Amino acid sequence: MAVLKIRFEGDPILRQKANKVPKVDASVQKLADDMWETMLDADGVGLAAPQIGLARRLIVVRVPQGYDGDDDPEYTFRLANPEIVKSFGEQSGIEGCLSIPGWIGEVPRAESVTVKAQDMTGRQIRIKASGRLAVVLQHEIDHLDGILY
């Protein structure tokens, strides 16, 4: 695995709409592994491929245990072509972004979301998330559409 260079606000790749991953193959798995290492190295909870300079619909997420301040387990995902298919409710909280270091902002989000995606075996999965995990998924999926909070 390798730590990749994170792109910062002002880099045009961050404002592009990313392309669909046609097939989850070994190169996609390796890229997800490298993104994973890059996210951990930067102490982040999520990273999207445009943030390392690739316009592809691929995200990694690691929400640590107890992130919501309760008994939540750790959540980890490597997702290709993630898409929000349902969302409910409202929440708003402070978010940071590895591509905008030093800045945090309060962002309105859905309280819960259902995300459809492919896992790293190419299988279609659905994730139901609420609270902070839902926020992280919405933030990373926004990156794939060129949206920074």
Backbone phi, then psi, for 87, in 5-degree steps? -145, 145
Q: How far is the CB of 135 from Zn ion (least distance, A)?
A: 11
Place of tokens 């690691």: 62
Sign of the torsion formed by the C-alpha atoms of 125, 131, 136 and 141: positive
- Piece in contact with Zn ion (CB under 5 A), picked from 29-37, 55-63, 70-78, 90-98: 90-98
Helix, strand, or coil (residue 86): strand
Residue type, 102: G
- Piece in contact with Zn ion (CB under 5 A), picked from 18-26, 79-87, 94-102, 122-130: 94-102
Q: How far is the CB of 19 from Zn ion (least distance, A)?
A: 19
List, edge to edge, every strand of the sheet that includes 46-48: 46-48, 58-63, 75-88, 112-118, 124-130
Q: Which of 45, 97, 113, 134 binds Zn ion (CB under 5 A)?
A: 97
Binding-site size for Zn ion (CB under 5 A) equals 1
> For residues 97 and 144, which CB has a smaller minimum distance to Zn ion in the complex?
97
- As annotated, the active-site residues are 140
User: Rule CB under 5 A: which residues touch Zn ion?
Assistant: 97
